[in-house]
Amino acid sequence: MKKLKPLIDALSAKPVNAPHGWDEREIKGIFASDLISDILIADGEDILLLTSLLSNQVLRTAEVIGASAVVLVNRQHVPIALSKAAAKQGIPLFHTPLPKYESCVCLGRLMEPV
């Protein structure tokens, strides 16, 4: 398991919603998808979800699967409605300009056992 903060830092991700204690959350794995149906079958809680989806539905889905945080890839800006929804649900939400593939490679290296 890894702390969330170093993973977010590695992606140069900016916070959209960073509730108190977000940086201490533990991450067991990374899951990347743009299909809600695929996200719903993600195995286990405490994952970091990477997606380019910008609907509130992705936050509800993250909540259902027990994701610790969501990172929106390929993004410079995030819609205000999505930011408000993340704050209302208490889900840490970040955005990175990196594409999904590069984000996965970067995080994969960090998640490898030492």
Using DSSP, state whether 91 is helix, strand or coil. coil
Percent of the chain with pLDDT over 90: 90
Q: Containing domain of residue 13, as a range?
A: 2-111
8 Å CB contact between 95 and 66? no
Q: What pLDDT is attached to residue 79?
A: 95
* Tokens read off for 110: 């960090």
Give the CATH number, domain containing residue 20: 3.40.1390.20
pTM: 0.94
Dump pLDDT digits (tens) for 24-72: 999 999 999 999 999 999 877 899 999 999 999 999 999 999 999 999 9
**Number of domain units in the chain:** 1
1 vs 15: CA distance, rounded Å: 21
Q: What pLDDT is attached to residue 27?
A: 96
